[in-house]
Amino acid sequence: MTRYLRECSVVFRRQLRMNLRNPAWVLIGILQPVLYLLLFGPLLKPLVGSFGVGTDNAYTFLVPGLLVQLGMFGAFFAGFSLIAEWREGVIEAERVTPAARSALLVGRLWRDVLQLFVQAMILVGLGYAVGMRGSVGGVVLGVLITLLVGGACAAASNALALVSKSEDVMAPVVNIVMMPVLLLSGILLPMTIGAAWLQTVSDFMPFRYVVDAVRDGFAGDVASSAVAWGTLWAVALFALAMWWGASVFRRENA
Amino acid sequence: MIEARGLVQTFRTGRGKEKKDVHAVRGVHLDVGKGEVLGFLGPNGAGKTTTLRMLTTLLRPTAGTARVAGYDVATQPVDVRRSIGYCSQVGSTFSGAYAGDEVVDHGMLYGMSRRAAVAKGHELFEMLQLDGLWKRMPKNMSGGQKRRLDVAMALVHSPGLVFLDEPTTGLDPQARANLWSHIEALRSEQGVTVFLTTHYLDEADALADRIVIIDRGEIVASDTADELKASVAGDLVALEVASDDQVSPARERLARLSDDVEVAGRRVSGRVARAGKAVPGLLRELEGACVSLESIEVVRPTLDDVFLTLTGRSLRDADAPSLEGEKQ
């Protein structure tokens, strides 16, 4: 186990070093949610009271959605850097070392989750600055759920990258997945204000429960059933994505 | 160091009804001894890289077995990986990372301590003439430097056996010669066993103790370069005569020594067994027949001739439709 953790941390440190050499990516990744926060948040202010959600504060409503969005979509792009490395022979060189092949994935996920954590802190900090009210315990829980979901998406993205080995496949797949997730998860507006059929459709969107859970957490309602369901979904998605990712990395002929 | 028995690799390609099996490697037997430099030669798509990937545990053999450095590639892959170094065709370092960091991280994945990996890395940089490039990114290195960095990556954990997959492809002649001298030194100074694939005949000729030729997934020859060349029917003797009417007496005299005389203009050529011994006599006879020569050329057979003899095709023309894209 220590050996495994050591292998993961070698991979992690290498990735982190390369990321720190190019810190612009952390900021570019956070730019989109920050723009939503600053330019879309004000539009919600007069509306949020009529949503019938747990809060009347536009930012307490919006920041959790943006956080999950950041976790999902930021992580979806993690695979692109893996393709670049694969093309230069790095992955193959690592696969010929005795290091556990799943450690090659896990080390990279540590980097993705750390990057997400930094971005989440920036977003939450900005949220407080523009007037968000949130219970600290609930925010911590919300961030943890976000990290779990982000880890899941990063694992899936890395797995997809290693299976497809092509940005030309990755980009459309990520796009096709992203649009319905964005529209059916209630990230920008709550699904509850939609028509009944739309709500029914969104019931089949796992990420919706995650958004609801983080939102309840931020609103201070830590013990709600939505939090329980969202956490459950986050754990399930994470387990599923890790299983897929690990099996792709371990596969003999990748 | 390597014992392969009946290695087979079959890929499935295509979709639905067009699915078909591609037999990339069809039953390879190979033995490589300790300290040997083996040249694994063949045209593109012959199965070189596929064989190499099976021996380095990157690809599970469809059938057959192989022991590498004493371990079975199918059942003890981690032990195999610990014992070998591998330098792939495409490289092994990220273009935007520092060269030294890449080598140290690679060593640490082999379980080396940071301190040991740093020390070994500096030693290798010096040995491979990469001094001063520790903090250089591969994207800012020349092709030759990058290749030497890949060799350093493959050697960081001091393996007894290294696989070099077409190490000099794409390098200019100077960089090639330079890399050759380093590969040569691996064996002579470090006692490392080297498994080298190449499609350059001169490279195999210059470096390898023994040459194995693979064509269409099967091994067609395995011997030293000299023995392989000796298997070709003699050296090529080419005479350039001074005038047209001397062509036929020249051809007649050469035909006494060779059974495949060819005439092209004033050039008369044929393969002659042990030309070094036969040529002085030939010259005397030509003089006696009043044939005056513009030039005489004696060419030892090349490995290209060997390949031609073995497969009926020249190595240059033999490039099979490449499978490289499909198998990765």
Each residue's pLDDT tens digit, A11-69? 999 999 988 887 777 778 788 888 988 998 888 888 887 777 777 788 888 999 999 99
Beta bridge partners of B8: B26, B63
Whether residues B119 and B238 fall in one domain: no
The H or E element that residue B296 is part of is strand B293-299
B30 plus B68 within the same structural domain: yes
Query: What is the count of structural domains for chain A?
Result: 1
Do B237 and B224 belong to one domain?
A: no
| pLDDT given for residue B226 in this prediction | 81
User: Do residues B73 and B199 both lie within one domain?
Assistant: yes
Torsion angle, CA of A59/A135/A128/A56, rounded to 10 degrees? 30
Q: pLDDT class for A252, splitting at 50, 70, 90? A: low
Question: Which uninterrupted H or E stretch holds A219?
Answer: none
Chain A residues in contact with B106 (beta carbon < 8 A): 93-94, 97
Q: Say if B316 falls within a structural domain.
A: no
Strand order in the sheet with B235-241: B262-264, B267-272, B235-241, B293-299
Residue A129 has pLDDT above 50, yes or no: yes
Record: contact A90-B92, CB cut-off 8 A: yes
Domain extent for A183: 2-250
Q: Are residues B136 and B115 in the same domain?
A: yes
Helix H segments across B66-217?
Answer: 77-83, 99-109, 114-127, 143-155, 173-190, 201-207
Contact B81 A90 (CB under 8 A): no
Q: What would the two tokens of residue A141 be?
A: 């829980």
Which residues of chain B lie closer than 8 angstroms to A252, CB-CB? 59-60
The predicted pLDDT at position A15 comes to: 94
Pair (B134, B263) in one structural domain: no
Specify the pLDDT at position B319: 55
pLDDT score recorded for residue A178: 85
pLDDT at residue number B323: 42
In a shared domain, residues B99 and B172:
yes
Decide if A98 and B110 are in contact by the 8 Å CB cutoff. Answer: yes
Per-residue pLDDT of chain B (328 residues; tens, 9 = 90+): 899 998 998 887 766 667 778 888 888 899 999 989 999 988 877 888 889 999 999 998 999 999 999 999 999 999 999 999 999 888 899 998 999 999 999 999 999 999 999 999 999 999 888 999 999 999 999 988 999 999 999 999 999 999 999 888 878 888 888 889 988 888 888 889 999 998 787 888 888 999 998 888 889 888 888 888 777 767 888 888 888 888 888 888 888 888 788 888 888 888 887 787 888 888 888 888 888 888 888 888 777 778 777 877 776 665 544 444 333 3
Question: Measured between alpha carbons, how far is A11 from B237 in angstroms, rounded to an integer?
Answer: 60
The CATH number of whichever domain residue B138 belongs to comes to: 3.40.50.300
Q: Are residues B143 and B281 in the same domain?
A: no
Residue with tokens 């003899």: B309
Same domain? B252 vs B224 = no
Contact (Cβ atoms closer than 8 angstroms) between residue A142 and residue A234: no
B114, part of any domain: yes
What gap in Å lies between CA B276 and CA B278, rounded to an integer? 6
Residue B315 within any structural domain of the chain: no
Query: Residues of chain A with pLDDT > 90: what percent?
Result: 47
Domain count, chain B: 2
Query: Which strands, in side-by-side order, build the sheet including B71-72?
Result: B20-32, B2-13, B63-68, B71-72
Say if residues A163 and A76 touch (Cβ distance below 8 Å): no
Q: Which residues pair with A186 in a beta bridge?
A: none
Closest chain B residue to the Cα of A8, Cα to Cα: B109
Amino acid identity of residue B159, one-letter, is P
Considering only residues B310 and A208, tell me which one the structure prediction assigns the higher pLDDT.
A208
- What is the value of pTM for the model shown? 0.84
- The pLDDT value given to residue A253: 60
CB nearest to B90's CB, from A21, A89, A94: A89
Check CB contact under 8 Å for A252 and B88. no
**Do B104 and B211 belong to one domain?**
yes
In a domain, B188, yes or no: yes
**Which domain covers residue B220, as residue numbers?**
2-229+321-327
Query: Same domain, yes or no, for B214 and B238?
Result: no
Q: What would the pLDDT profile of A132-183 be if each residue is shown by its tens digit?
A: 888 889 999 999 999 999 999 999 999 999 999 888 988 898 888 888 888 8
Say whether A17 and B101 touch across the interface (CB within 8 A): yes
Has residue A222 got a pLDDT over 90? no
B60, B89, B328 ranked by CB distance to A252: nearest: B60
Of chain A, the percentage scoring pLDDT greater than 70 comes to 98
